[in-house]
Amino acid sequence: MFTLALMDQHTFTHNGWYGRLINASYTELNGERVNLIHGCPPYNIGSKCPLDKGGRLRGGFDNKSYTGITDYKDDYPEDVYEQMQLDFLDWCYDHLLVDGVVVYNHKHRRKNKEILQPERWLLRQKKLRIVDMVTWDKGSTVNHDKTQVWNHTELFYVMVKAEAKRWYMDTDRDDLSDEHGDSRKTPWYFAPQKSWHQAAMPLKLAMRIVRKWCPPGGKVAEPYAGSATGMLAALLLGRNSIGAENNSQFFMTCCNEMTLFLQRAKAQMQTSLPK
C-alpha cells in the first residue's frame, strides 16, 4: 500500500524519441506547474556514449550494465542544439510555478578550438532570469573526454521567472553541506557517483538541490532523467516528482533500479518499525 501511494506521486515516462523535448512528452503534468525543474540535458559533445572513439567503454563503469546500450545520440549541429535548449527553457517557464526555480545543469565544452559557454543561449532568452550560479567541482572529468569538455567542473544556473518577486530557497540548514562540510560557498565539492549511467549525478548532490530549492511536499520535474537521481532525491526527501527519459535502454534500466531501490527502502522501513 505504502509503496503504491509513494509511486503514485512519482511518474516516470519514456518519451521515446530524440530531439525536441516538448509538451507531448509531458502530458502527465496535465497543465500542472512544479516547484523545481532539475534540468540536466545532454551536452552535445558529439560522442556516442558510452563508447569512446576507439569503441571501448569509458572508464569507471560497470561493463555488464552497459552491454547493449548503443542508441545514445548526442551529436546535433550546434545551432540546432542551442535552439533545443532555448525550447527547453521555454518549456521550463511554462511548467514552473510563479515562485518556482529551475536548476539548469551544463558545462563548458570545447568545439573547433573554441570554448562554448552555456551563456551563449542562456542570455538569448528573457523569460527566465539567472539569480544564482553554483559550480560543482567533481575533482576529475571521469567519463568525459578532455578534448570535448573544458575541465572537471559543471555549472548549475539557478533561474526563476523574470517576473518573480520571490522564490523558494532553504538557506540555513547545516545538512545542506557538501563533502568538504561547507554549506554556503560555491564550488560545491561532490565526487562523481559510480553508476550504470555515464552521467549520473551523485545522489547527495541531487538531494542538496532538491532540499534547497523545492519546499517539502512540493513537486520536482526531471525532464532529462537519465538514472533519475533527482526523482530519487525527491522520493527520499518527501517531495513529489515527474521525470522523462527518451533512451529506452536507460529508461528500462532506471525503472528496474528504482524498483529495487524502493523494495530495499520498504524492507528497511519494515525492519525498523517497532514490534
Ligand X SMILES: C[S@@+](CC[C@H](N)C(=O)[O-])C[C@H]1O[C@@H](n2cnc3c(N)ncnc32)[C@H](O)[C@@H]1O
| Interface ranges with ligand X (CB under 6 A) | 15, 21, 40, 42, 197, 199-201, 224, 226-227, 229, 244-247, 250
Pairing of the two strands 128-137 and 188-189: parallel
C-alpha cell at 135: 559550480
> Taking the alpha carbons of 186, 192, 193, 199 in that order, is the dihedral positive or negative?
positive
What is the closest distance, in whole angstroms, from the C-beta atom of residue 205 to ligand X in the complex? Answer: 9
User: What's the CA gap between 270 and 275, in Å, rounded?
Assistant: 10
What is the closest distance, in whole angstroms, from the C-beta atom of residue 36 to ligand X in the complex? Answer: 13
What is the closest distance, in whole angstroms, from the C-beta atom of residue 270 to ligand X in the complex? Answer: 28
What is the closest distance, in whole angstroms, from the C-beta atom of residue 267 to ligand X in the complex? Answer: 24
What is the closest distance, in whole angstroms, from the C-beta atom of residue 195 to ligand X in the complex? Answer: 7
Between 242 and 244, whose beta carbon lies closer to ligand X? 244
222-238 exposure pattern, b = at least 16 Cβ within 10 A, e = fewer: bbbbbbbbbbbbbbebe
Between 128 and 258, whose beta carbon lies closer to ligand X? 258
Between 74 and 132, whose beta carbon lies closer to ligand X? 74
The residue among 271, 243, 273 whose CA lies nearest residue 258 is 243
CB 159 within 8 A of CB 131: yes
The torsion of the CA quartet 252, 257, 260, 265, rounded to 10 degrees, works out to: -140
Between 48 and 99, whose beta carbon lies closer to ligand X? 48
Between 137 and 245, whose beta carbon lies closer to ligand X? 245
What is the closest distance, in whole angstroms, from the C-beta atom of residue 112 to ligand X in the complex? Answer: 22
Between 106 and 219, whose beta carbon lies closer to ligand X? 106
> How many other C-beta atoms are found inside a 10 Å radius of the C-beta of residue 22?
15
The residue among 120, 87, 95, 102 whose CA lies nearest residue 20 is 87
C-alpha cell at 21: 523535448
Position of minimal CB gap to ligand X: 226
